[in-house]
Structure 1
Amino acid sequence: MTNNSTPSITLTDQDKLTLATAAHGAVALIAAAGVKSAGKVAVAGALALASATGPVGHALAEKQKGVKLNGKSTAELADKVLPALTASMSLLNQQDPAEAANFRSTVVTSIDAGARAERGGTGPAMTEMIRKITEALDAA
């Protein structure tokens, strides 16, 4: 009999805050880049995040008091979110590469879901934001 259990990971409250900022922030960035349907984009992305499983899913399901996804501009939001995406991938890769892959997949699924909710399809701004998010995920 083989042991198919995955290594357990330990996430501090700060780690969970970083994951939440990264994942929910990615959805917020996609919504900000949407031209016609920001609300629908945000809802579709958030619903996709709610389907996350494993330790990442548990961390994202917890209400995080310190998540602040506000700013005067999309640039200010991106200044918080893009580094959080890279930091999340780095900390998860250190503990369990499979869980890092799970996080990446969860974020990509959520931004894809958000992008599909944009009426008329994604435009150049949203396409560029997706590229920046993906680049931040892959920078770790």
Structure 2
Amino acid sequence: MSAATATLALTDQSKATLRTAAYGAVSLLAAASDKPGEAATAGTTALLSATGEIGHVLNAKSKDIRLTGKTVAALADQVLPALTAAATLVDTQNPAEATNFRTTVLIAVEAAAATSRPGQPVVADMTRKIAAALRTGN
């Protein structure tokens, strides 16, 4: 089976890590946004539009997403390493799905960021931090 057609062999814990990372990225961007509710809705809608195996994981009805940070800093401490771990995990099994995961999260973050007023430096900075965490998974 080629890498392009390989499936992901994910444990329940691995699926939880992927969901926590993706939905955590949206939550982190929303927390930094001037319109958090709109940002969360736009980002979540983008995640729910994901396709491929990653789409199935992100769309599964689950209560395993654990985001416990009460501040942006505490949330970032949890989400940014989860993004790196999730990207690394998928990359080791299926590089095409790893690209799908990264692209899906970045589109969700972009959708969330688009709800903010133009020129919000905090949102732009958080977007860069999320993208960097995803890249370190390569």
- Structure 1 length-normalised TM: 0.92
**Deviation string for 1:15-43 (max 9, x for gaps)?**
100000100000001101112x1100110
Question: Counterpart amino acid of 2:71?
Answer: S
Question: Counterpart amino acid of 1:55?
Answer: E
Report the number of matched residues: 135
Q: How does 1:1-140 map to 2 (within 5 A)?
A: 6-35=5-34, 37-118=35-116, 120-140=117-137
How far apart are 1:122 and its partner, in Å? 4.4
**Deviation string for 1:63-107 (max 9, x for gaps)?**
332212232211111111101100011011100000000000000
1:30·1:126 contact (CA, 8 Å) conserved in 2?
yes
Name stretches of at least 5 consecutive residues in structure 2 with no aligned partner: none
Q: Identity of counterpart residues, as a percentage?
A: 50
Q: Which has the larger radius of gyration?
A: 1
Q: Judging changes above 3 Å, is the alpha-carbon distance between structure 1 residues 113 and 122 closer, same or farther for their aligned structure 2 residues?
A: farther
**Deviation string for 1:116-136 (max 9, x for gaps)?**
111x22411111100100000
2:114 alignment partner, SS class: helix
Q: Judging changes above 3 Å, is the alpha-carbon distance between structure 1 residues 122 and 46 closer, same or farther for their aligned structure 2 residues?
A: farther
2:69·2:78 contact (CA, 8 Å) conserved in 1?
no
1:40·1:117 contact (CA, 8 Å) conserved in 2?
yes
